């Protein structure tokens, strides 16, 4: 276990490294329990002052076997080696070569950080601080070196040996059953991007010709037999490579690009230079095994990791505080790729739904932190929705504020100016300031101030002066460590919609047209005036979700219905329906809690009916509009004293009302979309299935017998996983006999396939009934379940804690007890996984008093447990707000 000295780490304490590493020669002899690592480093003093500093190398759980400096053994009195540090107090004040031999046990590595075994495959995960678990090293991203890696292993145990870069040599080790491979990566990189893999892997190969005409070999390595499931991943990779050339002018730079899929992985995937390592969930897909949603995630994650080659690898982060520099930017890039490949509107709506469900919740609770935190105890806990998703929104706002041309120029300058460097957020933003001549000092607050800005907008039309005045007031709530805030720069895309549904021309009071329809709000309170407006318009604000804010506008239900039907901005058409539904649900929750009945609203129903009736709309958009806000969305809107049972009841009742009211149209659409067509995961096919399954889901919500048999039939006859899983998901929400039969059938069909059995776990964890907790507990003893595999834990236990608001938040606290006990059991083995699971309790303060007290007590029991990992200790302390 790591020691906790020298924490917290603060951004303001950053100092350039005392020692730099120019080259690393690694020689790794793989063995299941005793892997020998020889590292030869060429070190040179950093530019950090004249006096030679001690050399302090990071380690974690290492055993030093030997140490040589410039070819001679270092005398014992000249160094100190502990399991987590190697110090040479007086190294020579010049460049020198240090040879370090350590021994590690990959089979004992249950943290899945450093060198570990996934099944029989050897693989590494070095971000953020895993390289120090392989050898002693200055394990920080601003130390960039050129790596040569020799791997040696038993030929039958590990016939495939891979590392970063290009293969330079391979062969047998004479007189043994072993062989070796030598890989060289010419691009200097930080240690977190190092990777090696060894094992019995099958491979699918393809080629890509880059825009300058270079041929690149593409390989995806998987468990033998899984090759046919790599088609979509390979296709996604080639499309991502082409897109990066066209959209950003970025070309791939090595002769080979490899992806390896492993089944034990803490996150989604990792962008190691030239050798991406993936959670197999995000590689493997076939129509029979993966849903449309899986296909989309695979495409997005393959693209994300590939795009890191420029945003993260060629230009990396100076320190871990700059994590959003690579992650926010790369998420922005993968979202843009998906928008170009599929429907831009649907992609935007999905991204915003995700942002609100995860990042807004994070921002509103005790784990809120800025996009660029100023302090951390454990960096593993900062791979968050705020750094990733809000980080992407911040990049998008730069584009919205400066326009697409200046944005592209700024990106080009960033690549030209900082290639090969470890950069900062300031350096990134400076590139945009330089190309556009715009002052971006106030914009930097998006990186430093946590919390979701709240914007109240009120518009008034004056027929006499033909002017429309929009008053905008912004505020930013306090967050941990930040009691008061400064005003933000908010790009607010607006339209004024006339009676005929067309946008009125936007002319500012000084006679200039409003550039690109974007107002720039900078003051706590500001009024914008539009001239020459001939009729009373309906304002459409924050179009395309131009800023990640919580917007309150003085729109009536009639205005919202009008926007839902007529706004030319598809995002705001969807938003108008969501706002109508949210207002109604919040009212209904209050009514239910007061002992009254929920009321139905013809307004929402009419708006939905109109959307369902609009044949010009993309079916994927219609499906999103039909999906009512989730329980977590409603809870977020209520904001305090939340009763999850009432929230569930209000939502379930409204879904039934919608299903009943629109039944005719829903059945019609369902039938119309049912004609047999071969499965294709393209935008049109995805959209068709999404709408058909959304119709089915609302019909089943009524519990009409004809709807339930329709779902049971779809389950049986489906020729693809999307339709089968959707039918099962909708059935499994209700206690009907068809549910048990379908769940049993599903397991019997797919029992040999862990990734599909994960879906089975997740569906059961989501059942909104009191028996679910016992069901989940029983499933932890199922032969297909394992606490050692992160995918299994997430599909069952995280799904219960995060996707089943009602049962996780049981009024007796048993949900909290189960999850926190699981956290404590997992922590000694896999602290990262345990800490993430614990973050499911981050919204405990908004609950009604009984549950709040029970959640707090469960958290306190975690805090009081002995020997917590730094990961869990950090999350529990911040969640309780007692650190
Ligand atoms: N850089 C990766 C995310 C990642 C972070 C930490 C990890 O450690 C287990 C693994 C992956 C990405 O953004 O995809
Ligand atoms: Zn990333």
Please report which confidence band the pLDDT of residue 47 belongs to, taking 50, 70 and 90 as the band edges. Answer: confident
How much of the chain exceeds pLDDT 90, in percent? Answer: 97
How much of the chain exceeds pLDDT 70, in percent? Answer: 99
Q: Is the CB of 125 under 6 A from ligand 1?
A: yes
Q: What CA–CA distance (Å, rounded) separates 360 from 51? A: 48
pLDDT tens digit string along 633-685?
A: 999 999 999 999 999 999 999 999 999 999 999 999 999 999 888 999 999 99
| Residue 269 alpha carbon to ligand 1 centre in Å | 6
| Across 472-485, average pLDDT | 98
- Closest Cα to atom 2 of ligand 1: 270
| Across 841-856, average pLDDT | 98
Please report which confidence band the pLDDT of residue 598 belongs to, taking 50, 70 and 90 as the band edges. Answer: confident
Tokens of 60: 């974690």
| Residue 273 alpha carbon to ligand 1 centre in Å | 13
pLDDT at 150: 99
Give the predicted TM-score (pTM) of the model.
0.98
305 carries an active-site annotation: yes
| Across 181-193, average pLDDT | 98
The beta strand positions in 515-565, using DSSP E, are 518-521, 525-531, 538-541, 550-553
pLDDT tens digit string along 243-297?
A: 999 999 999 999 999 999 999 999 999 999 999 999 999 999 999 999 999 999 9
Ligand number with the minimum distance to the CA of 270? 1
pLDDT at 883: 52
| Residue 129 alpha carbon to ligand 1 centre in Å | 11
Q: Are 146 and 188 in contact (CB under 8 A)?
A: yes
pLDDT, averaged across the chain: 97
- Closest Cα to atom 1 of ligand 1: 270
Q: Is the CB of 269 under 6 A from ligand 1?
A: yes
pLDDT tens digit string along 516-530?
A: 999 999 999 999 999
Cβ atoms within 10 Å of 232's Cβ, excluding its own: 20
Q: Is the CB of 266 under 6 A from ligand 1?
A: yes
- According to DSSP, the β-strands at 316-317 and 422-423 are parallel
Phi first, then psi: give them for residue 200, nearest 5 degrees.
Answer: -95, 95
Phi first, then psi: give them for residue 8, nearest 5 degrees.
Answer: -75, 165
Q: Is the pLDDT of residue 320 over 90?
A: yes
pLDDT at 2: 55
Please report which confidence band the pLDDT of residue 49 belongs to, taking 50, 70 and 90 as the band edges. Answer: low
Phi first, then psi: give them for residue 82, nearest 5 degrees.
Answer: -110, 180
pLDDT tens digit string along 191-236?
A: 999 999 999 999 999 999 999 999 999 999 999 999 999 999 999 9
Helix (H) or strand (E) holding 873: helix 870-880
């Amino acid at each position: 276990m790591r020691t906790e000295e020298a924490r917290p780490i603060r951004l303001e304490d950053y100092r350039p490294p005392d020692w730099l590493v120019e080259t690393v020669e690694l020689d790794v002899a793989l063995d299941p329990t005793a892997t020998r690592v020889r590292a030869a480093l060429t070190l040179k003093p950093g530019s950090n002052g004249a006096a030679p500093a001690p050399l302090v190398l990071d380690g974690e759980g290492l055993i030093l076997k030997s140490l040589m400096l410039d070819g001679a053994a270092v005398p014992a009195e000249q160094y100190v080696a502990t399991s987590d540090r190697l110090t040479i107090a007086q190294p020579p004040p010049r460049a020198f070569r240090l040879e370090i031999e350590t021994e590690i046990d990959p089979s004992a590595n249950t943290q899945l950080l450093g060198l570990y075994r996934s099944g029989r495959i050897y693989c590494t995960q070095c971000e953020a601080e895993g390289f120090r678990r392989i050898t002693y090293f200055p394990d920080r991203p601003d130390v960039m070196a050129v790596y040569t890696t020799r791997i040696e292993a038993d030929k039958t145990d590990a016939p495939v040996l891979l590392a970063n870069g290009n293969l330079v040599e391979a062969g047998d080790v004479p007189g043994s059953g072993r062989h070796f491979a030598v890989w060289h990566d010419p691009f200097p990189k930080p240690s977190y991007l190092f990777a090696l893999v060894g094992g019995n892997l099958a491979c699918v190969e393809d080629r890509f010709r880059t825009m300058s005409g270079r041929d690149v070999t593409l390989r995806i390595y998987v468990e033998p037999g899984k090759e046919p499931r790599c088609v979509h991943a390979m296709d996604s990779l080639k499309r991502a490579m082409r897109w990066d050339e066209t959209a950003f002018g970025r070309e791939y730079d090595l002769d080979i690009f490899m992806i390896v899929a492993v089944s034990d992985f803490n996150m989604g995937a990792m962008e190691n230079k030239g050798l991406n390592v993936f959670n197999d969930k995000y590689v493997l897909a076939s129509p029979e095994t993966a849903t449309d949603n899986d296909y989309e995630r695979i495409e997005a994650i393959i693209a994300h990791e590939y795009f890191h080659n420029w945003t993260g690898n060629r230009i990396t982060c100076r320190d871990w505080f700059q994590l959003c520099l690579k992650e926010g930017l790369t998420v922005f890039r993968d979202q843009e790729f998906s928008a170009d490949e599929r429907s831009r509107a649907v992609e935007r709506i999905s991204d915003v739904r995700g942002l609100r469900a995860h990042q807004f919740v994070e921002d509103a609770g005790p784990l809120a932190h800025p996009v660029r935190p100023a302090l951390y105890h454990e960096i593993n806990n900062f791979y968050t929705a705020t750094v990733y998703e809000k980080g992407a929104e911040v990049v998008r706002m730069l584009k919205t504020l400066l326009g697409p041309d200046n944005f592209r120029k700024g990106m080009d300058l960033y690549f030209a100016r900082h290639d090969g460097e470890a950069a900062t957020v300031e350096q990134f933003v400076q590139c945009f300031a330089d190309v556009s001549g715009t002052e971006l000092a106030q914009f930097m607050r998006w990186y430093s101030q946590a919390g979701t800005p709240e914007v109240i907008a009120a518009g008034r039309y004056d027929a006499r002066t033909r002017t429309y005045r929009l008053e905008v007031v912004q505020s930013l709530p306090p967050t941990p460590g930040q009691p008061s805030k400064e005003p933000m720069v908010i790009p607010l895309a607006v339209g004024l919609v006339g009676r005929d549904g067309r946008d009125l021309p936007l002319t500012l009071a000084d006679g200039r047209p409003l550039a690109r329809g974007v107002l720039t709000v900078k003051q706590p309170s500001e009024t914008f005036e539009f001239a020459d407006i001939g009729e009373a318009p309906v304002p459409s604000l924050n179009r395309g979700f131009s800023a990640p804010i919580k917007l309150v506008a003085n729109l009536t239900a009639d205005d919202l219905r009008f926007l839902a039907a007529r706004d030319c901005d598809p995002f705001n058409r969807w938003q108008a329906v969501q706002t109508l539904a949210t207002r109604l649900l919040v009212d209904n929750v209050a009514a239910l809690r007061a002992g009254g009945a929920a009321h139905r609203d013809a307004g929402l129903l009419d708006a939905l009916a109109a959307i369902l009736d609009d044949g010009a709309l993309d079916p994927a958009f219609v499906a999103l509009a039909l999906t009512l806000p989730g329980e977590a969305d409603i809870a977020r809107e209520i904001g305090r004293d939340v009763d999850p049972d009432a929230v569930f009841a209000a939502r379930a009742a409204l879904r039934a009302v919608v299903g009943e009211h629109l039944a005719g149209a829903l059945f019609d659409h369902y039938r119309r979309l049912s004609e047999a067509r071969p499965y294709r995961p393209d935008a049109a096919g995805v959209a068709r299935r999404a709408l058909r399954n959304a119709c089915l889901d609302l019909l089943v919500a009524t519990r009409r017998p004809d709807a339930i048999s329709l779902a049971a039939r779809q389950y049986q006859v489906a020729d693809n996983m999307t339709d089968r899983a959707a039918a099962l998901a909708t059935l499994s929400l209700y206690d009907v006999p068809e549910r048990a039969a379908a769940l049993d059938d599903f397991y019997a069909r797919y029992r040999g396939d862990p990734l599909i059995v994960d879906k089975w776990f997740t569906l059961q964890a989501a059942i909104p009934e009191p028996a679910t907790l016992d069901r989940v507990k029983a499933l932890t003893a199922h032969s297909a379940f394992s606490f050692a595999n992160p995918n299994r834990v997430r599909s069952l236990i995280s799904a219960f804690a995060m996707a089943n608001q009602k049962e996780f938040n049981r009024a007796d606290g048993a949900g909290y007890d189960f999850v926190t006990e699981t956290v404590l059991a997992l922590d000694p083995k896999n602290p990262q996984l345990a800490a993430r699971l614990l973050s499911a309790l981050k919204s405990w303060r908004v609950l009604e008093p009984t549950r709040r007290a029970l959640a707090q007590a469960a958290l306190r029991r975690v805090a009081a447990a002995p020997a917590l990992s730094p990961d869990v200790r950090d999350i529990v302390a911040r969640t309780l707000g007692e650190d």
